[in-house]
Structure 1
Amino acid sequence: MSATGVSFEKSKSWLLVDCGEATQHQLLRADLSPYHLSVICISHLHGDHCYGLPGLLASMAMSGRTDPVYLIAPQAVVQFVMSTLALTQVTLPFDLHTMAIEQTDQFISLEFCYIEIIPLKHRVPSFGFKITEALIPRKLRIKQLHSEGIASGPHYNLLQKGQDVIYQGQRLAANTYAFPSWRPRSVIVCGDNEKPSLLSSYCDDIDMLVHEATFTHPDLMRVGTHTGHSDAKRVAQFAQQYQIPALILTHFSVRYHGEGMLDVLENEARTHFHGNLRLAYDFLVLTVPKQLLSE
């Protein structure tokens, strides 16, 4: 069952990609609180990616959340959720803003993050999500301000907040006199996808790729290449080609369940990818380091 949380330290709000069965139960043991869950992205309509959603929303209602929640998902998933809530007579105390992917712009701007929707290839329409942080403290270019004779005052604070100001009849552009403290961090979290190359135009500036590796390459060749899934070799080669710093593999076939059974997947991926590689497990927490910027 798939569920991946993404959070940034400057906001209590966080984002969830996919919501397989028992997601709400696992969240009871995680550091991320459903009360602060603001955005839910569902990659496709298969049950291992969305069956946990009605229960999670009901639990969020019981937690007392009143702030709006955004659901970004295929139209069929939106219909499934709304029908289930109606049939079970669940009344949400918060506004659920549903955004059907088929009718939504590929770029969505929210308070704490930006989301790009990436079409993938699976047996049904499937999507990935590029999530980029938005709330980054800004630093003033103090030397430049002083060199131009711009004395300190309330306008400094406004510039630092990203607002243009008028100073002694002159317009000061915030982007000229202030800059982000660090480079925005980005991660791509994918649904099921048999063609990693579809991510090519989105990978130049990402810090981490979360992608399924359902099979090893030899096993995929045996079961057929059009399963709608990827193998560890193909994903690792792609991540190496685009010099992605961190690769997280998920969504493993049940044939690899059991002690030591995932080693063959990890070994195959490490042969082709030389960055930070992890195989996902429940409650895995990873931190993307900041790349600080200077004047």
Structure 2
Amino acid sequence: MNIHFLGTSSGNPSKYRNVSATAVQFERYKTWLLVDCGDGTQQKILQAGLPLYHLNAIFITHTHGDHCFGLPGLLSSVSIAGRKLPLLLLAPQSVIDFVLHALRLTEVELGFELQLKAWEPLLESAQALQLEQCRVTLHPLQHRTASVAFKISESHVPIRVFSAKLRQQGIPRGPHLALLQQGLDAAYAGQTLLASDYSYLCWRPRQVVIAGDNENPNLLKSACAKVDVLVHEATFISADLQRITKATGHSCAKRIAEFAERLGIPHLVLFHFSARYHGRGMLAPLESEAKTYYHGQLTLADDGLSLHIEKQFAVTESKKTRHP
């Protein structure tokens, strides 16, 4: 499982960071999905080597422009890349309206079916969304406008049977074996072979939570159960956030670090940094504050950073491009 950070700035782009966009890719599938799509995301996708043709879903966390202004251009480019299969856009209804108006006014005709789904009904009903490569649940956050986090859980992990156990019990090969390999109970010689006793997942499904803008990390307590990685904003350090008199709807590094430490989250990734911290060495106060309150694996994401979550849950980092 790979997480590609395409844009890690809040509000506006800078020389060092673009606005919000994060891609998720599973090794067993050519397809990949995108969480948020700020202006300029297309260029970052090209730099990351992600094929537009295989983009099969886009999730938008909330309506603010730094998370969605790149959508019309990206969809047009996906069409030019030759995609014919449907592409899902899961977004607030207002973002869907924005995309439809932009495509109509610029006379763009897509060469694929754009499947539009507003996330408000899904959020109210607590329904999960099943894609080819993963299962997605939505979790409400607290921001100046309605905002959500997406919990992305790996689907279709291969199943193996305990062959030695079957041999020891004198159970030969047969149709029952095929059922067990699908994770299903099977009948054999008048008894029921429970899949839980005779089969197992090759690895525990990997799970990541990618949160939109949010000032209250505690809202993610249930979503973060058994999660491998939490990706969350840290727009400010606590001292700077306290100096801002108006409500920002954002978190500081201390707030999210304390939450991750309390829940024992193994890997915390911070992003969505205010432009006041962009540039060489300027993230040091954020990193220092987070490390004071969180003692797990900590990453401050740069544009171009890729995280690979191994099946044995070792998380490795790589960088396609260098940034100050």
TM-score normalised over the length of structure 1: 0.93
Tell me which residue corresponds to 2:27: 9
Tell me which residue corresponds to 2:115: 97
| Distance of aligned partners of 1:194 and 1:59 in 2 relative to their CA distance in 1, 3 Å threshold | same
| Distance of aligned partners of 1:110 and 1:175 in 2 relative to their CA distance in 1, 3 Å threshold | farther
Specify the SS of the correspondent of 1:187: strand
How far 1:148 sits from its partner (Å)? 4.0
How far 1:40 sits from its partner (Å)? 0.8
Partners in 2 of 1:113 and 1:281 — Cα distance? Answer: 25
2:197 paired with 1:179: no
Amino acid at match of 2:61: S
Tell me which residue corresponds to 1:108: 129
Tell me which residue corresponds to 2:180: 159
Question: Which stretches in structure 2 are left out of the alignment for 5+ residues?
Answer: 1-18, 314-324
Tell me which residue corresponds to 1:195: 216
How far 1:156 sits from its partner (Å)? 2.8
Amino acid at match of 1:230: S
Amino acid at match of 1:38: N
2:306 paired with 1:288: no
**Superposed CA offset, 1:143-196 (max 9, x none):** 332244331245534432345555567665545432210011100001100000
**Superposed CA offset, 1:243-280 (max 9, x none):** 11111111111111222111111111111111111111
Partners in 1 of 2:286 and 2:294 — Cα distance? Answer: 12
Specify the SS of the correspondent of 1:244: coil
Bigger mean CA offset, 231-240 vs 81-90: 81-90
2:259 paired with 1:259: no
Paired residue total: 292
Partners in 1 of 2:259 and 2:278 — Cα distance? Answer: 25
| Distance of aligned partners of 1:144 and 1:276 in 2 relative to their CA distance in 1, 3 Å threshold | same
How far 1:25 sits from its partner (Å)? 1.1
2:54 paired with 1:33: no
Partners in 2 of 1:225 and 1:169 — Cα distance? Answer: 70
| Distance of aligned partners of 1:57 and 1:145 in 2 relative to their CA distance in 1, 3 Å threshold | same
Specify the SS of the correspondent of 1:202: coil
Specify the SS of the correspondent of 2:98: helix
Contact 1:212-1:250 within 8 A present in 2 as well: yes
Amino acid at match of 1:151: P
Partners in 1 of 2:68 and 2:212 — Cα distance? Answer: 11
Specify the SS of the correspondent of 2:305: coil
Bigger mean CA offset, 226-235 vs 167-176: 167-176
Tell me which residue corresponds to 1:87: 105
Bigger mean CA offset, 158-167 vs 26-35: 158-167
2:88 paired with 1:70: yes
How far 1:60 sits from its partner (Å)? 0.6
2:70 paired with 1:52: yes
Contact 1:145-1:177 within 8 A present in 2 as well: yes
Tell me which residue corresponds to 2:295: 274
Tell me which residue corresponds to 1:237: 258
Amino acid at match of 2:171: I
Specify the SS of the correspondent of 1:103: helix
Partners in 2 of 1:238 and 1:31 — Cα distance? Answer: 34
Amino acid at match of 1:70: L
Contact 1:194-1:226 within 8 A present in 2 as well: no
Specify the SS of the correspondent of 1:152: coil
Partners in 1 of 2:59 and 2:292 — Cα distance? Answer: 32
Question: Which stretches in structure 1 are left out of the alignment for 5+ residues?
Answer: none
| Distance of aligned partners of 1:174 and 1:13 in 2 relative to their CA distance in 1, 3 Å threshold | farther
Partners in 2 of 1:135 and 1:90 — Cα distance? Answer: 36
Amino acid at match of 2:274: S
Q: How does 1:207-226 map to 2 (within 5 A)?
A: 207-224=228-245, 226=247
Specify the SS of the correspondent of 1:192: coil
TM-score normalised over the length of structure 2: 0.85
How far 1:114 sits from its partner (Å)? 0.7
Partners in 2 of 1:183 and 1:258 — Cα distance? Answer: 38
Tell me which residue corresponds to 2:10: none
